[in-house]
Amino acid sequence: MNPIATDVEDSLARLQEQVAALRLRPGDALPGYFFRSHVTYQQELNNIVFKSWLWAGHVSQVPNVGDYFLYELAEESVIVVRHDDGEIRALINSCRHRGSRVCELKQGHGKAFACPYHGWVYGTDGRLKAARHMDGVPGFRKEDHGLKHARVAVRFGLIFINFDPDAYDFNEALAMVDPQLAPYHLETAKIAHRETYSVDANWKIALGNYLECYHCETAHRWYSKIHSFKDREQVSAPLNRAMWARAEKDTGVPDVDKAVYRMFREAPGFGSCVYTSRYALFADYKTGSRDGAPLAPLMGDFKGYDGGACDCQFGPLTYMLNYPDHCILFRYVPFGITRSDMEIVWFVKGDAVDGKDYNREELIWLWDQTTQEDKRIMNLNASGVNSQFFEPGPQHPEFEDTPMRFIDWYLHALAGNHSVVVPTVRTHRTSSLEACGSGLDG
């Protein structure tokens, strides 16, 4: 990790000054203050991260009653467990006695969680079942000391949580992208591989890099050979138009070409972003493979390849890129001011067998390669913004349109403004995002 000098004078007033100054320069990149300030980081957790829907895992990780895994971010740990009633619960992994972690194992199976410290025992619904020698203590009632819960929403086999009890119902947002996402049958898909890439970078550096493809030609040689995004009008727009025209017929999936833009401030509720848009790969590429050839059996309802891939967003920190034969999920996880994880999960059809139906190394090649490249530029970016002499410049109005939308949302949310705005109506034939293929990258 890169040690950084923090500002001992830091305060909420200082943060407000910085936000106000940045508002006078719309379109500029974030200045170094936002990557160095402990006050900012705490505000981000309270006002953004803990109020947003976050991807915790996939239903295949908890197929049976009593199965659990830990989801960790910042200083938090959450036990995601399937309770006796078949529903998935998200329990805050902090004992209601003196706060010890109750569960140590990253994943496992059990009927209850016994705290390793003084032995209080919790059910898989978080209820306190036993507390040694406490029954005779005046005023002590077990029902007052269950593990705290986070909210849970499950759709497409994806498990999302939200620490805010008053959060917008994410199921309503997810229903908006059902026609484009449900046909992949992610609920029965198999996790073929997952990988965590840790970076010595603030979470906004890692996420900001995913949100634009201005860097793709300089940083990603292979990605740029496969995915169209450059010379928007000359190269990308005709490829997209041709792909949209054939997409339904070639894939057999109705409305597969339709787009939904409810990102950041245009989300239906705070922290409930949903986005989907289909964009073209270069000619001869059916999927994200070295030679363009298929890598795995077609997913779900897909009957063929249209030369397109589906970009998605679920909440502010989770993204997917779905090819017809495999789907890739990207999650961004903050762990302090100067560290974050990028986690990538590769999904294939549920009954696909490694070595027979797909080759795991070939399957992960492109995005492992691309993410290693991203890791390098993120670390360089993180070091550079920590220079006391860094002065941010303007972002490109089209190529960095999505990071600008993120910053606008981020500044509002940081200040405690969680209102959403009426979305701009954007159809997939007219938006600048889609004219370029995708606003997002990796």
**Contact residues for ligand FES, defined by CB under 6 A:** 95, 97-100, 115, 117-120
Partner whose binding site includes residue 42, from Fe ion, ligand FES, none (CB under 5 to 8 Å by kind): none
Distance in angstroms between the alpha carbons of the first and the last residue of the chain: 22
Quote the least distance from Cβ 102 to ligand FES, whole Å: 7
Partner whose binding site includes residue 384, from Fe ion, ligand FES, none (CB under 5 to 8 Å by kind): none
Quote the least distance from Cβ 139 to ligand FES, whole Å: 18
Classify 327 as helix, strand or coil: strand
Cβ contacts of 415-421, under 8 Å, gap ≥ 24: 415/16, 415/19, 415/47, 416/47, 418/47, 418/51, 418/270, 419/270, 420/265, 420/266, 420/267, 420/268, 420/269, 420/270, 421/265, 421/266
Q: Which is nearer to ligand FES, 125 or 341 (CB)?
A: 125
For Fe ion, the binding residues (CB under 5 A) are 374, 441-442
Instruction: Identify residue 302 by its one-letter amino acid code.
Output: F
Q: In what order do the strands lie in the sheet with 121-123?
A: 112-114, 121-123, 128-130
Q: Which residues pair with 404 in a beta bridge?
A: none
Partner whose binding site includes residue 374, from ligand FES, Fe ion, none (CB under 5 to 8 Å by kind): Fe ion
Count of CB atoms within 10 A of residue 394's CB? 12
Which H, E and C letters describe 351-364, residue by residue?
Answer: CCCECCCECHHHHH
Strands 88-92 and 274-280: unpaired
CA 230 vs. chain centroid, Å, equals 25
CA distance 309 to 277: 8
Q: Which is nearer to Fe ion, 325 or 441 (CB)?
A: 441
Residues 325/294, Cβ–Cβ less than 8 Å:
yes
Q: Which is nearer to ligand FES, 147 or 337 (CB)?
A: 147
Kindly state the greatest CA–CA separation across the chain: 78
How many Cα atoms occupy the beta-carbon half-sphere of 440 within 13 Å?
A: 25
Q: Which is nearer to ligand FES, 97 or 246 (CB)?
A: 97
Partner whose binding site includes residue 249, from Fe ion, ligand FES, none (CB under 5 to 8 Å by kind): none
Q: Which is nearer to Fe ion, 257 or 374 (CB)?
A: 374
- Nearest-5° Cα angle at 403, 401 to 407: 115
Residues 86/65, Cβ–Cβ less than 8 Å:
yes
Q: Which is nearer to ligand FES, 115 or 317 (CB)?
A: 115
CA distances from 405 to 27, 28, 92, 116 (A): 9, 11, 32, 45
Classify 306 as helix, strand or coil: coil
Q: Which is nearer to ligand FES, 120 or 203 (CB)?
A: 120
Q: Which is nearer to Fe ion, 153 or 344 (CB)?
A: 344
Quote the least distance from Cβ 374 to Fe ion, whole Å: 4
Quote the least distance from Cβ 220 to Fe ion, whole Å: 6
Q: Which is nearer to ligand FES, 95 or 317 (CB)?
A: 95
Count of CB atoms within 10 A of residue 7's CB? 13
Partner whose binding site includes residue 57, from ligand FES, Fe ion, none (CB under 5 to 8 Å by kind): none
Position closest to Fe ion via CB: 374
Q: Which is nearer to ligand FES, 95 or 211 (CB)?
A: 95
Quote the least distance from Cβ 392 to Fe ion, whole Å: 20
Q: Which is nearer to ligand FES, 99 or 394 (CB)?
A: 99
CA distance 283 to 14: 51
Partner whose binding site includes residue 120, from ligand FES, Fe ion, none (CB under 5 to 8 Å by kind): ligand FES
With CA atoms as reference, report the closest residue to 58 among 323, 350, 295, 260. 350
